[in-house]
Every structure is written in structure tokens, then in C-alpha cells.
Amino acid sequence: MTAITKKICLVGDFAVGKTSLVARFVKNVFNEKYITTVGVKIDTKQQQVGEHELKLVIWDIAGENAIAGTRASYLRGASGYLLVADGTRPDTLETAIDIKRQVDAIVGEVPFVGLLNKVDLTDLWDIPESQFDGLLARGWDFVKTSAMSGEGVEQAFERLGARLLEQ
Ligand code: GDP
Ligand code: MG
């Protein structure tokens, strides 16, 4: 069966765990290469979604800031994206809202899944339920993840994959 190939991007504030999430998801299993000129790391992973074989081409930008992640050259051609926030830093959720606006302006309203990462740090978890509920009310779909423990990571990528094939 021929795989359907889709590009996805990781976006989010600095240090929310984008690179760690990709590493957790693809570790030891996939090809990877660096495109050093634009500072982007590209990994691929194939997954079974229903009756389809989906090949995700996962773009993770090296620039450690939110601006870099919203550059048109990085986002162009993306079929969807993972919007990552750090559950121990509520401001990264505010940044995510801003980033989503910028991404929508560049690639249009493509599917995305929100990730509230670092759920393993329960003692430091600092996202008020009300803020979370507000996002759900906007129709955002969120998965709590931990790149450290692996919790929710596969699920988050799978959910985005399923969305991409629904289109
Ligand atoms: P990026 O800038 O968004 O790519 O973030 P990184 O993946 O480089 O992670 C930033 C820091 O957060 C690193 O020190 C990681 O080890 C740490 N980190 C990432 N994900 C998690 C997580 O789920 N739990 C914990 N405890 N630390 C994490
Ligand atoms: Mg990174």
C-alpha cells in the first residue's frame, strides 16, 4: 500500500518541549536529516491510520523562539501542526493563542492538535482549569503530554494524523 505523505510542523514558545516530543515519538525508528541552512530538523514516521498508511514528515525548527516557528518558509506546505504549550508556564498558552493566529494567516485553517506538555511535573503544573476550559470552548482539542514519560505523545500525533486524513 502506498503511504500518503503529509508535512506537519511543531510550533510553540521556546522550551515547551517541541524537540523532545519529536524525539520521543520517532526515536530509533526513523530517518532523520538536518537542513542546516535553515535550521530545521526533519524526521519522518509512518503510522497506520484506519485503513491508510500515513507518512508524517515532521518539521521541528531549531530557532529557540516562537517567532522562528511562525516563519512562512517553515510553515509553507504544512497540512497540519502541533501547537505546544508548557503546562508549568501559563504564558506559553497565551503565546500559543497568538501563534495559532499567525499560522492560520500563513497556511490557512489547517488541522492542529494542542499539546499541554510536561504533565509529569504535577507539582509545578500551573494551568488553571478555567483557562483550559476556555480553550475547549473555542473548539481547541488538547492532549496532555509528557515527552519525559511518553504519556499522551503517541496519542497526540495519531489524533493529528487522523485529522489530516479526514480532510
Ligand atoms: P523546545 O525549545 O520547544 O524544542 O523544547 P525542548 O524539547 O528543547 O525542551 C526544553 C526543556 O524542557 C528541556 O530541558 C527538556 O528536557 C525539557 N522537557 C521537554 N519536555 C518535557 C516533559 O514532558 N517533561 C519534563 N519534565 N521536561 C521536559
Ligand atoms: Mg527545539
Residue 85 · residue 99 · CB < 8 Å: no
pTM equals 0.92
Which ligand is nearest the CA of 151, by number? 1
Q: Report residue 88's pLDDT band, with 50, 70 and 90 as the boundaries.
A: very high
Residue 79 · residue 7 · CB < 8 Å: yes
Average pLDDT over all residues of the chain: 88
With the most atoms of ligand 1 within 8 angstroms of its CB, the residue from 9, 14, 20, 115 to mutate is: 20
Backbone angles phi, psi at 148, to 5 degrees: -75, -50
Higher pLDDT, 136 or 113: 113
Q: Is 45 helix (H, G, I), strand (E, B) or coil?
A: strand
pLDDT at 36 over 70: no
Average confidence (pLDDT) over 87-111: 93
Distance (Å, whole) CA 65 – CA 47: 29
